Amino acid sequence: MTALDLSSPVAVVGTGTMGQGIAQVALVAGHPVRLYDAAAGRARDAAAAIGARLDRLVEKGKLPGTDRDAARARLQPVESLIELADCGLVVEAVLERLDVKQELFGALEDIVADDCLLATNTSSLSVTAIGGPLRHPGRLVGLHFFNPAPLMPLVEVVSGFATDVTSATRAYETARSWGKTPVACADTPGFIVNRIARPFYAEAFAVHEAQAADPATIDAILRESGGFRMGAFELTDLIGQDVNESVTHSVWQSFFQDVRFTPSLAQRRLVESGRLGRKTGHGWYDHAEGAERPEPHTADKEQPPAYVVAEGGLGPAAELLTLIREAGIQVREEDEDNGTRLVLPSGGQLVLADGQTGVEFRDVVYFDLALDYRTATRVALSASPDTSPRTLAEATGLFQALGKDVSVIGDVPGMIVARTVARIIDLAHDAVAKGVATEEDIDTAMRLGVNYPVGPFEWDRRLGREFAFDVLDEMHERDPSGRYAPSLALYRHAYAVEDRREGTS
């Protein structure tokens, strides 16, 4: 099955921001495009707005003027659905209400040809449910574009329970012919991106609710240590707190209130107060003109230790040993199976976040996971009230000697980056095990859809197959609500290691 022929008209129903973006993508790809909106005059206004954006592309040298003129000639706003009768593809981008979408596709089914492909751009509703009332639900597929559609490369191609393979394939190939990067996924709540991305927000909010760190500090750690382009608080302010919370609530409800997807009470209060982010001038941050952006907590300068004793290879943090030596600090190594700790001159230990808490041990400082310890510009430390000030000072001075800013947060299990990444990896394995998508498509979706520095499976390979399971298993022991219980898929993945399979029982 090949992509839709360029001579075949594409219709977009719903001319809001997303509808206009999808129409522009199809138009620039070379299709005739019809625009329809139930509100009188909106289709004409949308056509004018698209034309203005094409003009700006010409001004920036990104589109030849002749191509702009040809595209304008192919763009047609229409006043009734009947004018979409000869279209080969109709993409719906209307209100996120199941009844509205079902009614629309029911009307379209009586108008378009039997071989016309029907697509919904829903981000939160079930494709299966949308197509349920249709006489021929096999031709309905999800085409989930990301905003802004002309710029974002990812398109999730969602197969409902009744979607024909030929329909899904045609939609996939059409998206690819439009210059997009499509990924195939089953009809599951949140699809790929909105399902697997939930912990990125949820764990940041949970750390804040535990009063372990403020939003600016959490955001800085996610960016400067985790390698994420934006932190959870600044990103949800950009998206809109109401929009982000709505998606979270939809996924939670669709999974029968699964505790792994529980919404944040702190975010709920933010929405109730009308602080929705940039669009209202205030969210987690104050976005009023001239407002000062809060700075992340950064520790005062401390003296580095003269030496450290490395017990084991530090696992995912092994590169730190090289960095410490390069900083002129002596490293004394002691063999220790699966060791992930440094012993400081104080006698205290510096341990990679493992899902446990400092209060459980005599004198421990935890340090958070980093995407790349060499390039990270900030590292988070956590200590309990019982940790000696000298141990914390030595740990702080050590990372400062490596050129890192240091943020000291409260004694929360898994810290910030480690718990977030572990949960993302877990949901990714769970999705593959349940047939939602392939590992490759999940990695692609998370990199292109939400700009993650690496996909969850690539991160899993970097960390070692046991890391995410071990962190979550320890966190589950400390919070037995089920929120951090590793999935069966992650359990199987972690234990599929040769040295753990010496026999059976």
The residues annotated as belonging to the active site are: 123, 144, 156, 194
Which candidate, 24, 60, 242, places its Cα nearest to that of 145?
Answer: 24
> Of all residues in the chain, what percent are helix, strand and coil, respectively (each to 5)?
45, 15, 40
Task: Record the tokens describing residue 85, joined without a space.
Answer: 């009768």
Cα 283 to Cα 135: distance, rounded to the nearest angstrom: 45
Q: Are 260 and 232 in contact (CB under 8 A)?
A: no
| Residues 6 or more apart whose Cβ sits within 8 Å of residue 250 | 124, 125, 189, 190
Paired tokens of 80: 């009734």
Looking only at the bridges linking them, the beta strands covering 405-409 and 378-383 are parallel
Q: Is the separation of the CB atoms in 426 and 398 below 8 Å?
A: no
Tokens for 359, please give them. Answer: 């209060």
How far is residue 300 from each of residues 3, 352, 393, 400, 488, measured CA to CA in Å?
59, 22, 9, 10, 44
Report the candidate in 268, 225, 266, 253 with the shortest Cα–Cα distance to residue 375. Answer: 225
Helix (H, G, I), strand (E, B) or coil at 417: helix
Take residue 407 and report the two structure tokens written for it.
């943020």
The answer to whether residues 376 and 402 touch, using CB atoms and an 8 Å cutoff, is no
Q: Residue 485: left (phi > 0), alpha (psi -120 to 50), or beta?
A: beta
Say how far residue 92 (Cα) sits from the centre of its chain. Answer: 24
Q: How far is CA 407 from the centre of its chain?
A: 24
Q: Are 151 and 173 in contact (CB under 8 A)?
A: no
Q: Which residues of 296-322 are buried (b: 16+ CB within 10 A; e: fewer)?
A: bbebeebebbeebbbbbbbbbbeebbe
